[in-house]
Chains A and B, each alone.
Chain A
């Protein structure tokens, strides 16, 4: 089984593409996925504006909320608003990443690029895997920039040496779960126009959470929804692990935020990963 491609005219005449063993097939899946990832990294280089705006936007939100509204917002436990806001905004940054995924998936599908991939003898899962790696890299950079911004603004983590990486891990787990939501929505959307309108919904989801304010300040039923919002549980878990001020309360969800910061993403993955896979299959009618 040839795994390399000798480029002499002689071999070119009767070259057979590798279809062979599961191991070589898996190797090709990884290689193909990396090619797809590189494609996105090339986008960063060729259109730096788009990706940089994506990274800077959450910083702007931090400055806006922290600077403009922060003084008017009371923080549970009496800490500084930046201390409260930053972990919430880390979670919010993961949510913004959803927009990148949706847009990329739907644009490829609408432009026929997905069909070209599917008409090639490459592994189908490589397309998704490549998207995963590229989007996770994007969000890791975004998160690093946000942590840097927080440090510049005086935010600190107080927890132990294992707690902070655990918080980062939970944030990226949420991003990974949202990736599958994004792929699914991107596949069923049918075009960038539809995605643009879906993107607006990111805001109500963001506001109806504990990212910006303590849910205890909301009307009871609204506060309950905000507490159970997956964004809130991850934000709350991050606050606890970073040792930052957060909201408390006697409710079950307030007591078990860290548990739910694991359960919610796993639940989202369990729902949307199969749905995305089905979406890809359904492209084939």
Chain B
């Protein structure tokens, strides 16, 4: 999968309108009758410049998949406007479909057919000639390092191979705009790296990509700009660096050898912290937001030494997207819920935000109980306060 492969020697391309934004959505709303069907959209706005990768980031139930389904013409919005490659998704679905590729949440390939038969079938359905379809299939198998396994049934593929085949199937017509919905959910680390490499490769060839993910690391690595989605609307948008800067300074992480030292460290940290200190008891880690980097590091190290606390590791670092995410989500959530997300994120090996637990938590609360914030519609009230343009 090297970058110097001839891009699309046999690919068909369709004319693309000269538009500034490959994807544009304004005030898109979608409400489901049955809640089980998926999360709706609640005034969804998005602008993705041509040739960039936009990461749509949000917890489960934020409306990521709904947004993708509307933009790919699979679902009709209740109201609002959306266009892809300059064509309206409601009025010109056919023109949109000719210009997009969709990699859905599940590898949408035929399990019984071989990898090659899948690609030939999708190429035929894209109206390639019989010989052309076979040639295109072989090119794509080569490009996605599947040439060796092309003759095997997809049922025998690994998760990573399946996703790569899925990507290949989405690229048969070399679409100007590619939608990728949670490309690495359920993949092991090796599979995740394979898929990331494949997507990065594509971006090199000028495709505009809209990527949804609940993995912050993934958005950080792949996306030029990130839109954070919550309860069906974009709450903030910017480059990963802008988002990180938006919540202020750096962080000092102290990892301790002894769990008993955590409390003492937290007290010391409180003196130098420029914000709320986060403690992860399980990992024996204290994270301190700091304003003055060097001074904080020296003060902290000295104070720990004086107290006789021996840390395993002291690290000064930029905020992670996790923290941006928690910061944004935390401001709009009842405090109890925030703790759940916090715990899951900081203890998880990877940066995973899963608000199913949080939702369950909310469901567990007594009806009409204590926190009025829990009953507040997400679109109203303080939510607008966090919509800082960064």
Contacts and interface: CB of A to CB of B under 8 A. Distances in A.
Contacts of B108: 111-113, 115-116
Nearest to B181: A112
Interface in B47-75: 69, 72-75
Given A47-B112, A116-B169, A120-B125, A284 B9 contact: no
A181 to B, nearest CB: 24
B169 A7 contact: no
A32 B15 contact: no
B30 A116 contact: no
B12 A284 contact: no
Interface in A1-43: 4-5, 7, 9, 12-19, 28, 31-32, 35-36, 38-39, 42-43
Given A14-B13, A46-B112, A7 B132 contact: yes
Interface residues of A, number: 37
A118 B74 contact: yes
A121 interface: yes
Nearest to A18: B127
A207 interface: no
B137 interface: no
A9 B125 contact: no
Contacts of A122: 125-127
Interface string B94-132: 110110101011111111111001000110111111011
A60 interface: no
Contacts of A284: 73-76
A49 to B, nearest CB: 11
A186 to B, nearest CB: 16
A3 to B, nearest CB: 8
Interface in B228-242: none
B110 A39 contact: yes
A1 to B, nearest CB: 12
A121 B99 CA distance: 9
Nearest to B117: A42
Given A12-B11, A17-B14, A111-B106, A28 B127 contact: yes
B196 interface: no
